Amino acid sequence: MNAKFSANPIKGSWKIILFISLITLNMNFVFYAESSGAQPDPSQKPAEIPSLIAKANPAPAMLQAERYSLSEAIAYSLQNNPKVRTSARDIEIEKYGIDAAQAERIPRIDFGSSASRYRYPTPVITPVISGPFGAGLDLPEYSRNIYDAGGSFRLPIFKGGRLYRAVLVAELKKAIAQENLVTSKQDLIFNLSSVFYKIAELEKLLVATDGTVKQLEVHKRDIELFFKTGAVPYIDLLKTDVQLSYAIEHRLSVKNNLESAYELIKTLMGMDDMGQRIAIVYHEIPQTSLPSLDESLAKSFTQRPEHRAVTKKKMIFEERVKIAQGKRLPDVSVGGEYGGKAGDGLGFKENWFFGARLSIPVFDGGLISAEVNKERAELQKVFEEERSIKLAITREVRDAHLNIAHARERTEVARKTIESARENARIENLKYQTGAGTNTDYLDAQTDLLRTESDYYRAFFDEEVARASLRKAIGETEY
């Protein structure tokens, strides 16, 4: 059975990251195109950000959908994701490989029979001479039809260590398959968590953009009344109308991205019915303290399944070198056969033999040496693969720590900026109502407030993703 070595350097989640990046870029493009978008009236104080993060009211369309928390979605996906189930099957396949390797060490017994017809009469058995000095010659029976039946067995005694090493290699292949299953689960948990947090972020943005559209619609009606009374110029009405169009486009973009994210999470969960409606339930969990960088690196080299798998792969190729070297040693086996032959009269004459066989390689034209050198070269490749995986793991751990720190700083900055943006929007609203400010200043202030809140959501959930990335980088499976 062919081995399945998949201790490759870090695999798996670049497509998920690319998808999330495209969503973020698309939202940024639409959002920042609103050079002066309006927001809810500052007189109606927006809800505090932490409360929005902790609990969001479900949209009416989602009330009939099946709802999943992060842990529930992960548990469902671990049972139904095709890649995880395929990795589990690989373990079963390698188990049969162990059975096949062990079977080479036990006797092999075969039963066979045949019927042959010859052109000329042929002796059923060879002539048998019995008694001392050739006395008692037993002439064989001749027949054109020969029938024979019997059994044989063969037991290998010594093959230069190749028998038990083959079993060891098969066991290591199964261990690698088990590590690959853990890797598949960790990749799935990280990818699903990333999409889950992106959905939570998009739902917060959808609530904010929907409120923006409603407030702009109210503001437009007020501007229309002011214009009819001659209190404001026509340009204010045009600017408000343009910002309303941008806000509607932004809301549509968020909805489309949200639908795409839901389709992706259903795919990761392994749902066969892609038409099934689901919704997520996000609950903010108090963040625990992070391990230091040195602690994370130490854990990663002992807990990462990719590193454990490549270590086992190295052991496999070390054994394969010894297996190739074992071909220079003698092969010893015992065997025997018992059977009988008969002609047309069906008078079977039995015969048997038992013996041992010794085979010593003397000259093979350099074949064994070439195989040994080939396996040694393969072993050197595995050493480089192990080094590559160590470097990749180190980079992942460091990047995760940096991303967490960066996202935390962005979150704190955005949290402080929100209060300033709210106060600025309140002041611009008062100035506009009293005629001391302009409609443009008011719209710009509201746009700044929405951008600040959006930056907060993005930074907050980026930290969640970075924490999930750190858990994956150090090989943790808890979620």
What pLDDT is recorded for position 24? 57
Higher-confidence position of 285 and 424: 424
CB atoms within 10 A of CB 204: 23
What pLDDT is recorded for position 422? 77
Domain spans, the chain: 14-473
Phi, psi at residue 115, to the nearest 5°? -135, 130
Tokens of 350: 């039995």
Residues of the chain by 3-state class (helix, strand, coil), percent to 5: 65, 15, 25
Is domain 14-473 classified as CATH 3.60.20.10?
Answer: no
75-112 residue pLDDT tens = 999 999 999 999 999 999 999 999 999 999 999 999 99
**Whole-angstrom distance, CA of residue 421 vs CA of residue 140:** 113
**Whole-angstrom distance, CA of residue 176 vs CA of residue 184:** 12
What pLDDT is recorded for position 17? 56
Q: pTM score, two decimals?
A: 0.79
Residue 39 has pLDDT above 50, yes or no: no
Q: 342 near 124, Cβ under 8 Å?
A: yes
Amino acid at position 409, single letter = E
374-400 residue pLDDT tens = 999 999 999 999 999 999 999 999 999
